[in-house]
Amino acid sequence: MAIVAGEASGDMLAALLLQALYQRWPGVPTFGIGGPDMAKQGFEAWWPHHKLAVHGLGWDVLLRYREIVGIRKDLFKRLADQPPSLFIGVDAPDFNLELEARLRARGVKTVHFVCPSVWAWRAERLLTMRRSVDHVLCLFPFEPAILAQHGIAATYVGHPLAQVIPMQVDRDAARRQLGLRPEDDVLALLPGSRRSEIRHLAPLFFQAAALIAKARPQVKFLLPAAPGLEALVGQAAHDSHMAERVQIVSGQSHTVLAACDTTLIASGTATLEAALFKRPMVIAYRMGALSWHWMRRKRLQPWVGLPNILSGEFVVPEFLQDHATPHALAEASLHWLDCKASDSAVLRQLETRFVTLHESLRRDTGALAAQAIDNMLHA
């Protein structure tokens, strides 16, 4: 089986799937593009997953475009010469969907794991998906019905994060691990896991944290830096004169989310993680002007944060591009801290919403995905 996973999140999803595939088909060879989590399961990576990790429409993509196209060309030739029994594209739709279409045209069965957010933006991808994939494995319960309307077979398999994150977490234990006291007011800063996100968002988050610190000197700030980005985050903290106030830890994002009272967080999968930890949040995002102009024209919903999308309303605030100012982010974050201090019913209601969301996403994702693949192969 050939598998292509891009970025750390795809590596995690693919590793979960590999466990189930090996249980169903012991000894099946798996190869393609992947990361360290997949390698631990026995996957043979012809290229490392970080080769596909780009973001936006700016220079980062343009400078890497030829390399990425070259990798896809070489991978297709290798797979066309020796066709696999199955190709699984894990996320990375800009890379995988075209590759899947070309392989499918040659008779290779194709599966795409993680439905692209066609219900939020870029609905034109539905036409590409119908041409490219035999089956889609969906993380959210409403997605198969949308795909079925366009003639695309799909199965809801749940979101693996809902399995990994417990329904109830031990906040005090997480705080002890991070050297915090049970009574501390703790705000987590999660500006993203890509270099471009750190460049756009970390200075903004530190500026907002400075305003919060001025209003509430007792607040503790935590920032879980993605491995390899600690130096970049540390430099941004230093440049913002917040290096002494913010505790930067390597990785441990789940421990930080378990420990915090609220989080200022970049739009993305991390917002779903925060919701599964039942934490109030302020969602923010900025990107290059060109990327923002293009994305804004493709949006189909008023929300960008997954907790709001899944709830169908603004259960937590979002601040995008020019609206994401230090004062706006600080004010919204202080609101959640005020709710904590007053034991607000708003917080209890939000927690109830997040418990319901968690229950709806909690499935045996690996087993369901492997069963769906088996059904498709033997249909």
Q: How many CB atoms lie within 10 A of CB 55?
A: 18
Per-residue pLDDT reduced to its tens digit, 111-132: 999 999 887 667 788 999 999 9
The structural domains of the chain, with segments of one domain joined by +, span 2-158+363-377, 171-361
Closest CA to 32 of 97, 108, 69, 86: 86
Q: What are the backbone angles phi and psi of residue 117, rounded to the nearest 5°? A: -75, 60
Q: 2 or 121: whose pLDDT is higher?
A: 2
Per-residue pLDDT reduced to its tens digit, 334-374: 999 999 988 889 999 999 999 999 999 999 999 999 999 99
Closest CA to 287 of 58, 54, 99, 52: 58
- Matching fold, domains 2-158+363-377 and 171-361: yes
Instruction: Write down the pLDDT at residue 295.
Output: 62
Closest CA to 96 of 2, 29, 160: 2
The three-point CA angle 74-78-82 to 5° equals 165
* Strand 186-190 relative to strand 220-225, pairing: parallel
Q: 285 or 206: whose pLDDT is higher?
A: 206
Per-residue pLDDT reduced to its tens digit, 229-279: 899 999 999 999 999 999 999 989 999 999 999 999 999 889 999 999 999
Q: What is the largest CA-CA distance in the chain?
A: 66
Q: 65 or 365: whose pLDDT is higher?
A: 365
How far apart are alpha carbons 17 and 36 in whole angstroms?
Answer: 14
57 pLDDT band, cuts 50/70/90, is very low
Instruction: Write down the pLDDT at residue 196.
Output: 82
171-361: which CATH topology?
Rossmann fold (3.40.50)
Give yes or no for residue 301 having a pLDDT over 80.
no
Q: For the chain, what is the mean pLDDT?
A: 91
Closest CA to 283 of 205, 346, 224, 171: 205
Helix (H) or strand (E) holding 222: strand 220-225
2-158+363-377: which CATH topology?
Rossmann fold (3.40.50)
**Cβ contacts of 1 within 8 Å, gap of 6 or more:** 21, 28, 29, 30, 31, 84, 85, 86, 87, 88
How far apart are alpha carbons 157 and 172 in whole angstroms?
Answer: 32
